[in-house]
């Protein structure tokens, strides 16, 4: 299968993050995409293609124009305010404070309006990198629309925590959602998103929550103990027309292959019942046993089985890279899914 990739992902690199009270090098670093790319070349998965620039229109099918403006301009605003370093939000609207529905004018208040955490910062070129990751997803969707059985969008930064108008969890633009919408706009009437990243895809859930044309199934660490903490419970099943088209599988810390696979097979069946004509896989491999920020116990060989079971849908399939932070094994694990699919 074709891989879509651009070296422009280097335009995003938050230096640090706070992990359990310590300042550490960010887990979401450029080496992640490099190691996946080199594994793709080592195994000869197929051609590696640079995505074209798509402009804002296909991204605005998912994200709001005011949020895109904010991402583009906030770094300059930060500097103009006389601040050094990268752009970081740091204070959010607590449940005791009444919700608002339009952006405040002050810089810091607006930063919290458009975010939900400080997993990653906004650098001078983060918006450009995120836009190129979205281009990477769109190019993969277009390959599938053009008739490819499958494609891999090697996106970085990742996307599934980003909502219509907010960033968080290392994510700025929701690459998988942008691709799913592209498939809808290209003629697929029902698109399923299978999110197998370790974390709940809260951004993807927010984007499609009231829609019946895009089904989201997500397997993840139970939000009672795991990031993003506030969303991802099984009781969240969609709203209005979208009722029943959002499926969450929260799983306990320590989940191993047998239990994970059972949830995966249940989701697999529900996706088949939905009868989609195309599939987007939010491909995180942070379910790996040695992942430094996660608590599931999948092994390298299991990713081959996952790929084979995804192939069994017999659907045009777009894989979109999400998380995975055990960098040494990341290339093997992610590409195992793709090789398992092709076998
Ligand atoms: N102490 C994705 O996998 N919190 N995002 C990390 C580490 C943020 C994960 C805390 C995790 C975000 C795309
Ligand atoms: Zn993740």
- ipTM value: 0.97
Cβ(257)–Cβ(299) under 8 Å?
A: yes
pLDDT in the model for residue 112: 98
- Ligand 1 pocket mutation, candidates 12, 27, 287, criterion most atoms within 8 A of CB: 27
> Six-digit token pair at 198?
């370790």
150: tokens are: 């499958």
**Three-state SS at 209:** coil
* 75 ligand 1 Cβ < 6 A: no
C-beta of residue 49 within 8 angstroms of C-beta of residue 4? yes
pLDDT tens digits in sequence order for the chain, 343 residues long: 999 999 999 999 999 999 999 999 999 999 999 999 999 999 999 999 999 999 999 999 999 999 999 999 999 999 999 999 999 999 999 999 999 999 999 999 999 999 999 999 999 999 999 999 999 999 999 999 999 999 999 999 999 999 999 999 999 999 999 999 999 999 999 999 999 999 999 999 999 999 999 999 999 999 999 999 999 999 999 999 999 999 999 999 999 999 999 999 999 999 999 999 999 999 999 999 999 999 999 999 999 999 999 999 999 999 999 999 999 999 999 999 999 999 9
Alpha helices (H) in the chain, listed in sequence order:
31-43, 65-80, 107-113, 126-145, 175-185, 202-208, 257-274, 300-311, 327-342
Query: CB-hemisphere CA count at 13 Å for 2?
Result: 19
Q: Which of 17, 172, 321 to mutate to test the pocket of ligand 1 (most atoms within 8 A of CB)?
A: 17
Report how far residue 135's alpha carbon sits from residue 237's, in angstroms, rounded to the nearest whole number. 30
The answer to whether 334 touches 38, Cβ cutoff 8 Å, is no
Show the tokens assigned to 229: 């903490």
DSSP category for residue 133: H
Ligand 1 site, residue 195, Cβ cutoff 6 A = no
Instruction: Dihedral sign for Cα 78, 83, 89, 93, please.
Output: negative
The residues pairing with 282 across neighbouring beta strands, listed in sequence order, are: 195, 320
pLDDT tens sequence across 168-210: 999 999 999 999 999 999 999 999 999 999 999 999 999 999 9
> 137, 320 in Cβ contact below 8 A?
yes
The answer to whether the beta carbons of residues 187 and 220 sit under 8 Å apart is no
Are 165 and 115 contacting, i.e. CB atoms less than 8 angstroms apart? Answer: no
Query: Under DSSP, is residue 298 helix (H, G, I), strand (E, B) or coil?
Result: strand
The answer for residues whose C-beta is within 8 angstroms of residue 335's C-beta and 6 or more apart is 36, 39, 40, 43, 45
| pLDDT at 62 (0 to 100) | 98
**161 part of the active site:** yes
Task: Give yes or no for residue 293 CB within 6 A of ligand 1.
Answer: yes
> What's the pTM?
0.98
**How close is the Cα of 75 to the center of ligand 2, in Å?**
26
Class of the CATH-defined domain 2-64+126-342? alpha beta
Give every CB contact of residue 198 below 8 A, 6+ residues apart in sequence.
Answer: 220, 221, 226, 284, 286, 287, 291, 294, 296, 323
Catalytic hit among 161, 188, 200, 302: 161
């Amino acid at each position: 299968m074709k891989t879509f990739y651009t070296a422009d992902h280097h335009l995003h690199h938050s230096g640090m993050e706070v992990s359990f009270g310590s300042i550490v090098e960010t887990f979401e670093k450029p080496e992640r995409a490099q190691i996946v790319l080199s594994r793709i070349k080592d195994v000869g998965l197929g051609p590696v293609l640079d995505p074209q620039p798509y402009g804002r229109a296909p991204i605005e099918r998912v994200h709001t124009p005011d949020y895109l403006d904010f991402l583009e301009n906030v770094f300059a605003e930060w500097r103009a305010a006389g601040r050094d370093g990268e752009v970081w939000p740091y204070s959010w609207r607590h449940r005791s404070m009444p919700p608002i529905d339009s952006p405040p004018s002050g810089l810091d208040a607006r930063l919290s309006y458009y975010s939900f955490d400080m997993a990653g910062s906004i650098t001078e070129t983060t918006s450009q990198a995120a836009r190129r990751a979205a281009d990477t997803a769109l190019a993969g969707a277009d390959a599938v629309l053009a008739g490819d059985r499958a494609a891999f969008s090697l996106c970085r930064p990742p996307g599934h925590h980003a909502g219509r108008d907010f960033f968080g969890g290392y994510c700025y633009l929701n690459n998988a959602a942008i691709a799913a919408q592209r498939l809808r706009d290209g003629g697929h009437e029902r698109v399923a998103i299978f999110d197998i990243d370790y974390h709940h895809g809260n951004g993807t859930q927010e984007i499609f929550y009231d829609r019946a044309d895009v089904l989201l199934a997500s397997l993840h660490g139970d939000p009672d103990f795991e990031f993003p903490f506030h969303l991802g419970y099984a009781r969240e099943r969609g709203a209005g027309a979208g009722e029943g088209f959002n499926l969450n599988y929260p799983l306990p810390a320590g989940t191993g292959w047998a239990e994970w696979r059972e949830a995966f097979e249940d989701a697999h069946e529900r996706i088949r019942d939905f009868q989609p004509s195309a599939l987007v896989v939010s491909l995180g491999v942070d379910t790996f046993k040695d992942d430094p920020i996660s608590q599931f116990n999948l092994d390298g060989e299991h990713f081959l089985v996952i790929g084979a079971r995804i192939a069994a849908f017999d659907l045009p399939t777009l894989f979109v890279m999400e998380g995975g932070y055990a960098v040494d094994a990341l290339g093997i694990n992610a590409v195992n899914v793709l090789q398992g699919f092709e076998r």
